Amino acid sequence: MIKRAFTLIELLVVIGIIGMLSALLLPNFMGARERARDSQRKSDLKQIQKAFEMYKQDQSPPSYPSQLPTAGSVFSYSGNVYMNKFPSDPSPGKQYYYTVNNNNLTYTLCACLENIADPDGVPCISPCSCAANQKCYIVNQP
């Protein structure tokens, strides 16, 4: 009776091939997650910008909020709800940055991007405090 089994060489070749394939696919998967979080950041900042503009129209005299509302809270004023749930950065421990100057009705919102090749990314300026090699996504008053 002949027993058939894999030899040690065959098993090592299969393990090597699987290792090489996973090494090629893992960076692409991680890059997709970074791009998805960056897309969420850009969408959040655009929604915040729209909510701030509606808020300014309801103020007399016109003004913007003095600080960002707490993440997860309702952003409202005098019964007008501008955002049901104020967004937070999709990465734990990171945040959105905001400065306002109500004397000339200007503000700057920004977020640090993970993907340094993002075409919408620009070099970071105040109020963003990102790492040296990161880019920022910045939204100003329209």
Walk me through the domains of the chain, giving residue ranges and CATH numbers.
Answer: 10-140 (3.30.700)
Task: Give phi and psi for 8, each to the nearest 5.
Answer: -60, -40
What amino acid is encoded at 44 in this protein? D
What is the Cβ-side half-sphere exposure of residue 128, based on CA atoms within 13 angstroms? 22
Task: Give phi and psi for 141, each to the nearest 5.
Answer: -60, 145
How high is the mean pLDDT in each 10-residue block of the chain (142 residues)?
A: 80 91 78 90 95 92 91 92 94 92 90 90 85 88 78
Q: What global pTM score does this model have?
A: 0.79
In the prediction, which pLDDT does 112 show? 92
What amino acid is encoded at 139 in this protein? V
Task: Give phi and psi for 110, each to the nearest 5.
Answer: -150, 160
